[in-house]
Structure 1
Amino acid sequence: MIESSAYLSATAEAYDANVVRYAEFVREALNDLPLDRSILAAFAAFVQADGGGSVAELGCGPGQTTAHLRDLGLDAFGVDLSPKMIDYARAAYPELRFEVGSMDALGQADGELSGILSWYSIIHTPPAEVPSYFAEFRRVLAPGGHLLLGFFESEGEPVTMFDHKVTPAYRWPIDDLAALAREADFVEVGRMLREPGEDERFRRGHLLMRRR
């Protein structure tokens, strides 16, 4: 639970303290990232091809990517650990649903979701805890439901902690993260790696997966 996990409390507090600055930083980030938009569009297309249904962005922050999913035609809502981020998202996108919650203990019923987007939101999770997150993703996804992960890729190095602008985070080898997902009963559909842009430090990794 949130109260018993020091790193969850620290993450929530760090984002609570940086809401406005972070929201301004990410507000139009997708505009200049055509490859990122393409993997989000592919995720939306897979969900729609399977009949649509409810999609959660877990770690939604100020809500801009949840709104992007809505614009792609998905029935999307957002969940975030930071109460102040959720307040911001609700004010910015009053037509959308946002709720406070932790990715390791979601309020959704078993098999309730058709899709999950975790867009640079597991990056703050200590590596030993990541399998429990994948287990929770599997629980709330319907069989055949899709999961899209966005993360910082480690570029040939093992899992590596780095000084994220808000709170410490981790870079992952894409093969290692894919292996953990397989152990949680996910099948890889596709992956995308892109090199860092002019104002970015690290390679970006994306994994699109389906629950068995």
Structure 2
Amino acid sequence: MSKVIKLSEVTDQEWNEVQDFNKTITQEFLEQQHLSPQTLTQYESGIKQFFRWVKDNCGNKSIIELKPRDALRYQNFLMSRNLSSSAVKFKRSTVSSLCGYIELYYAEEHPLFRNIYNKKIPNPPKALRNEKQPLSKEELDLLIDTLKEKEEWQMVAYILFSYWSGCRRSEAVQLKREVVTYEKVKDNKTGEYKDYYMTHPIRCKGKGREGNIRKLVLG
């Protein structure tokens, strides 16, 4: 398998060299309040990487001057670095979202502008770069026993909670210590306690700044 060549983050010096309108519209786009902080961080990285590529490969043109062929060239550039299809699609979608923002809010100033990622530009074929293999019960037990021997109690708690709940890292770090005082979940009909606990509300992946607020299960 070919080596993946990740895109480096854009430095302040590189960003200062980007065309003025591209910098201005990026800042304005990132000030949208309905987007979550995590989404904004990812968008900022993806858009800045795109405009750095535009500076280096398209004469530092304004996004208004770019054409679908430039969008295809950028996509081919990403694919040539052996990025996964999901990574390429995300970087493509950040640019497409910015174009949609310009189409909606700058229609009077730029009535002829159209999203450079139109339907004729095919998405990259789906390909898993790294196949995910979940731990077996035996592997999990061995890992937990090894960590217990080393008295890595915080790591034991993290792994077991992640395994039980299926949560993401960004969700696991929101867990409060107070959960150790919680009682097991009670059945509303029978009044009997079930064999698991529920956490306090945790912000999980979802649209908007608030995301999807849920209570997670733990043993």
- Structures share fold, TM-score greater than 0.5: no
Larger Cα Rg: Structure 1 or Structure 2?
2
Higher percent of residues as helix: 2
Higher percent of residues as strand: 1
The two structures have a TM-score, normalised by structure 1, of 0.30
The two structures have a TM-score, normalised by structure 2, of 0.29
